[in-house]
A and B are shown apart, each in its own frame.
Chain A
Amino acid sequence: MEIAVFAVCAVIVIGGALGVIVARHPVYAALSLVATLFGVAVLFLTLDAPFLAAVQVIVYAGAIVVLFLFVIMLLGVDRAENLRTEPLGGQRPLAVGLGVATLVLALLFAIAVGTGGFGDGSVATGAPAAVAPERDSCTGLSKALEDSSPLVAACDGTEPISNIRQVARWVFTDYVWAFQLTGLLLTVAVVGAVVLARGRRGADGDDEAAGPAPDTAPEAV
């Protein structure tokens, strides 16, 4: 059963990922991305992480790709790109080379992790590896946390384990710095984007890109 679900999801995920790259149409590429995100969400479900699955759908499929599509529609770039022109010379061979190198490195690392250490359930790096073998009724995370935390319910399968509680505990204890710094980074990015988008108006009053009256802009061009 799990193998079947995994196989179907894998096909959807990889097919979607290929579609993102191969599709000539930006809208189709975005839709392929949605398919990939959904496949990954279902994989999260089979790994006993329903909360992550829901968040994946809400945040990535529901907000981020919607914004992609919004920009694509608003800017009217929704037609096939001419792939013959190459603005940056030599970037395609470089991209292929880097991609293959990353893939090989990732596979080597995965093999090393699968055969070598890390399987001892150490909290920092072994968590994803520990989830896979024991997915009866509780995850590796809760097993790892069980002795250290009174908040996590007993891991004997009688009580449904709260997925959110695990995630929240990790995010607000062990990884609180990483979490807060990521938040700060995103805030800085948003403020930067606002500043960049607004800055040109002060310098050049009749700049049509940032002009406050869009209906007069086409005539000015």
Chain B
Amino acid sequence: MNVFALDPAYIGGFGLDEALILIVKVIAAFAMLMVAVMLMIWFERKLIGDMQNRIGPALAGPWGILQTLADGVKLFFKEDLIPAQSDRFVFKLAPYLSLVPAVIVFAVVPVGGNFTTGDGTVSWWGNATYLQVADPHIGILLVLAMSSMAVYGVMLAGWSSGSKYPLLGSVRASAQMVSYEAALGLSLAAVLLSAGSLSTHDIVAGQGGYDWNLWVTGIVPFAVFFIAATAELNRPPFDMVEAEQELVGGFHTEYSSIRFALFFLAEFMNVITMSAIIVTLFLGGPDGPILTEGAAWLWGTVWFLLKLMVFLFIFVWLRATLPRMRYDQLMDMGWKVLIPLSLGWLLFLGALSIGRDRGWPDAAVIAVSVAALAAGGLLLRAAVRAGQAERQATEAAAAGQPAQGGVRP
């Protein structure tokens, strides 16, 4: 039983050829990811420099492109400090718990292949295969599972440091990441509804010929997914986890040397893989015009990388532009806006697809769904308003009492 992959290369059993293909894929994907992280850190620093009217890294290599390499070498040779108050075992474990999920997620991303006119397979040494390390049955659920594992790295790092600021950072991180995972999963469900499969290859294949989920599912799931992904990545404007002005460095305050570098690596790796996941889910992955028939598979990779660059640019752009949100605003947005919105939209899409199956007129289905969802939305708003009013009343009552409270022994 082939639990792990639907890849056509492994259908006829697992021999030497298949093992070689797998090894080449793993090494290529890992190397790509590492180089991409190196370039991404340089890209972010350079771009933010431009946006803030500075030069940015300029000395190491042409345009400072080797700056990250120099920083990495420097971090390797720094002294590795472990705080006396820390829990030594967990303190050493946490960076790896952060890094491993970041690496694993990239395995399910299709990075190339001709999906526009073909089925996305390429031929290596006479074996048809996909341009992705693995295509498991659970596909996109692996991404969700790994992004929920990533919480542990941040959380345990903060706790094991045995220090106040990291602990505050990790408490914020765990609440934020668990909350936004719900919105992430619900907006993902809309994509799965239109794709009818969990496998990333099938999701991309279903979007071939510009039927991208961005407009097939309406723009809403994409918007929710993008916002929730930004929060899941702890990127600005949602980087309360490492808010410098409040928490020093957040969860990694006490880390130094290569352990700190591992956190840094995992963070940027997550940015890249999450952008790749967004491209896969909503923008058709490698789908795009095939300009030369000779190397059709190559164009898939070209379009994939271009789309990836767009999202990486947007993430940097957000960081340079938006001020950090307040923590209660963040939680309000997650629970009271994004989750109801994505849930309502999912129900709407479900009603629409059932209506089409049964042959009901679209206009009637839309009218009834909008009415039902509007009623639900009004109820939700009333509940939120009532809660707010009650909280304000209690706060007002509490504000009148501190004199009383202060006298108590």
Interface contact B405-A206, CB-CB below 8 Å: yes
Closest CB-CB distance, A164 to chain B, in whole Å? 7
Chain B residues within an 8 Å CB radius of A220: 405-406, 408
Q: How far is the CB of B14 from chain A (nearest CB, A)?
A: 11
What are the residues of chain A within 8 A of B145 when measuring CB–CB? Answer: 54, 57-58, 61-62
Inter-subunit contact A70/B175 (CB<8 Å): yes
Q: In whole angstroms, what is the CA distance A135 to B185 when docked?
A: 30
Q: Indicate if the CB atoms of B152 and A66 lie closer than 8 Å.
A: yes
Q: Does B322 contact A (CB under 8 A)?
A: no
How far, in angstroms, from A48 to B178 measured CA to CA in the complex? 28
Complex Cα gap A31–B35 (Å): 33
The answer to whether the Cβ of B388 comes within 8 Å of any Cβ in the partner chain is no
Our pick among B159, B170, B178 for the contact of A63 (Cβ within 8 Å) is: B178
Given contacts A62-B148, A69-B155, contact A53 B171 (CB under 8 A): no
Contact indicator per residue, chain A 159-194, by CB within 8 Å of chain B (1) or not (0): 010111000000000000000000000000000000
Q: Does A94 contact B (CB under 8 A)?
A: no
Q: State A206–B202 Cα separation when bound (angstroms).
A: 58
Stretch at the interface among A14-22, A81-89, A208-216: A208-216
Map CB proximity to A onto B88-124 as digits: 1 under 8 Å, 0 otherwise.
0010000000000000000000000000000000000
- Output the least CB separation between A130 and chain B (Å): 16
A58 touches B144 (CB 8 A): yes
A27-B159, A57-B148, A206-B405 known; A212-B395 Cβ under 8 A: yes
How many chain B residues touch the partner (CB < 8 A)? 40
- Tell me the complex Cα distance, A183–B135, Å: 32
The one of A58, A61, A73, A212 that contacts B141, using a Cβ cutoff of 8 Å: A58
Q: A48-B3, A137-B1 are in contact. Are A66 and B405 (CB under 8 A)?
A: no
Q: Decide yes or no whether B136 CB sits under 8 A from chain A.
A: yes
Q: Which residues of B contact A66 (CB under 8 A)?
A: 148, 151-152, 155, 174, 178
Q: How long is the Cα–Cα vector from A162 to B136 in the complex, in angstroms?
A: 12
A69 to B153, CA, bound (A): 12
CB-defined contacts of A58 to chain B, threshold 8 Å:
141, 144-145, 148, 185
**A211 to chain B: closest residue by CB:** B398
Give A48's nearest chain B residue, CB to CB: B1
Does any Cβ of B come within 8 Å of A45's Cβ?
yes
Given A27-B90, A62-B181, check contact A51 B404 (CB 8 Å).
Answer: no
Q: How far is the CA of A33 from the CA of B90 in the complex (A)?
A: 15
Expressed in whole angstroms, the Cα–Cα distance for A70 and B394 within the complex equals 26
Interchain residue pairs with CB less than 8 A apart (14): A51-B138, A57-B149, A58-B145, A61-B149, A63-B181, A66-B151, A67-B178, A70-B175, A73-B159, A74-B171, A162-B137, A201-B394, A206-B398, A211-B398
What residues of chain A have their CB less than 8 Å away from a CB belonging to chain B?
27, 31, 34, 45-46, 48, 50-51, 53-55, 57-58, 61-63, 66-67, 69-70, 73-74, 78, 135-137, 160, 162-164, 201, 205-206, 211-213, 216, 219-220
- 5 additional A-B pairs beyond A34-B152, A201-B394, beta carbons within 8 Å, are A55-B141, A58-B141, A58-B185, A61-B149, A73-B158
